[in-house]
Amino acid sequence: MRLLTATGHTIRHSPRLATGLALLALMILLAVLSPVLVDAIGNGKDPLELATYERWLVPSSDHLLGTDQFGRDVLAMVISATSVSLQIGAIAGVISTVVGVIVAFVAGYKGGWVDNVLSTFTGILLVIPTFPLLIALSAYAKNVSLFQVGVMISIFSWPFAAKTIRSQVLSLRSRPYVDLARVSKARDLEIIVTELLPNLLPFIGVGFASSALGAIFGLVGLEVIGLGPGGVIDLGQIIFNAINTGALTLGAWPMFVVPIVLLTVLFAALNMINIGLEEVYNPRLRGVAGE
């Protein structure tokens, strides 16, 4: 509760955090409402179905962003693609953060041979060139689902989080307050969760944001070369189509520009939230002195 009031307080005082949250909320809202919105755009028809409309219509009041090479409504496509991109970000972000945090805490807190084994393993995964391997994996596994792609991307993105958090754990575990907790009969897990974890929230936040963004862009990268999961349209696939069909020369610029703008906004929003939250994590900045 106290943390909530503090968060509210911080949001009001940090334009950066407020902007970031507003942008992200808007995109999530868009994603959640995407079925409804797509229905509304279709007006009885399915705007994502092939040949629903004329091909290559330029933006007009009927089709705000025009249509693509198959006669689908680009606005509807972009909206549902945003939902897909956010999903992949959430899936991969959560998986890689959880795995990364667990590995980092076990390695950093336990030390010794446990740390050696885990760090070597993390290091090996870090130096594997991710993208070519993802291409190979996607090409090999035909018709992968969105979730499977998310897992595949997470396999290669958790080591980044693990590496940074581990080094922080190493520095925090020798703090006197950890010693004090130990002489107060706190168990290892309790120390990790109650003493170390709260102080590492900024790093975990950064880890989550970068894994999520990495996954979103990883999927875009796969889609751009035509190797995404089957049956879903994400922002990358729209860009892929735009490049492949020379949409820009046909006057269908929204197919190219809108997904890129959305990705940029998402990137900016996550980063702004992260920087803004620093003030919540750090009690010195909570401004409670006068309360």
Partner 1 sequence: MTKTIELSGVQQRFHARGAAGGYLTAVEDASFTLSPEPPQVVSLVGQSGSGKSTIARNVLGLQKPTSGTVKYGGKDIFKLNRDEYDDYRRNVQPVFQDPYAIFNPFYRVDRVLWKAVKKFGLATSRAEGLALIERSLDAVKLDPDRVLGRYPHQLSGGQRQRVMLARIHMLRPAFVIADEPVSMLDAQVRRLFLDILLDFQREYGMTTLFITHDLSTVYYLGGSVMVINRGRIVERGPVDVVMHEPSHPYTRLLLDSIPQPDPDQRWTGRIEVDELSGTAEAGTPKATAPETPII
Size of the site for partner 1 (CB under 8 A): 19
- Pick 251 or 283: Cβ nearer partner 1: 283
124 binds partner 1 (CB under 8 A): no
DSSP state of 193: I
d(C-alpha 36, C-alpha 46), whole Å: 11
183 binds partner 1 (CB under 8 A): yes
Of 12, 13, 45, 175, the one binding partner 1 (CB under 8 A) is 175
DSSP state of 283: G
Q: Please give the single-letter amino acid code of residue 202.
A: P
Q: Using CB under 8 A, which residues numbered 232 to 291 contact partner 1?
A: 282-284, 288-289
d(C-alpha 106, C-alpha 192), whole Å: 9
d(C-alpha 4, C-alpha 280), whole Å: 10
Of 29, 179, 246, 264, the one binding partner 1 (CB under 8 A) is 179
195 binds partner 1 (CB under 8 A): yes
Task: Give 58-63's long-range contacts (Cβ < 8 A, gap of 24+).
Answer: 58/251, 58/252, 59/254
Nearest distance from residue 204's CB to partner 1, in Å?
13
Which stretch in 52-60, 98-106, 172-180, 249-257 sits in contact with partner 1 by CB under 8 A? 172-180
176 binds partner 1 (CB under 8 A): yes
184 binds partner 1 (CB under 8 A): yes
DSSP state of 117: H
Structural contact between residues 212 and 259, judged by C-beta atoms closer than 8 angstroms: no
Which stretch in 60-68, 119-127, 152-160, 192-200 sits in contact with partner 1 by CB under 8 A? 192-200
Going by C-beta distance under 8 Å and a sequence separation of 6 or more, which residues neighbour residue 127?
Answer: none
DSSP state of 48: T
Q: Which two tokens stand for residue 12?
A: 């009001």
Which stretch in 38-46, 175-183, 259-267, 270-278 sits in contact with partner 1 by CB under 8 A? 175-183
Structural contact between residues 240 and 226, judged by C-beta atoms closer than 8 angstroms: yes
- Pick 51 or 193: Cβ nearer partner 1: 193
Of 51, 128, 141, 180, the one binding partner 1 (CB under 8 A) is 180
Of 7, 52, 148, 199, the one binding partner 1 (CB under 8 A) is 199
- Pick 2 or 142: Cβ nearer partner 1: 2
The sign of the CA dihedral 39, 41, 46, 48 is: negative
- Pick 63 or 173: Cβ nearer partner 1: 173
User: Quick count: other Cβ atoms within 10 Å of Cβ 125?
Assistant: 17
Q: Which two tokens stand for residue 5?
A: 């009031």
Going by C-beta distance under 8 Å and a sequence separation of 6 or more, which residues neighbour residue 32?
Answer: 83
Nearest distance from residue 162's CB to partner 1, in Å?
22
d(C-alpha 202, C-alpha 192), whole Å: 15
189 binds partner 1 (CB under 8 A): no
Of 15, 198, 251, 287, the one binding partner 1 (CB under 8 A) is 198
Q: Which two tokens stand for residue 126?
A: 């870090």
Which residues of this chain interact with partner 1, rule CB under 8 A? 175-177, 179-186, 195, 198-199, 282-284, 288-289
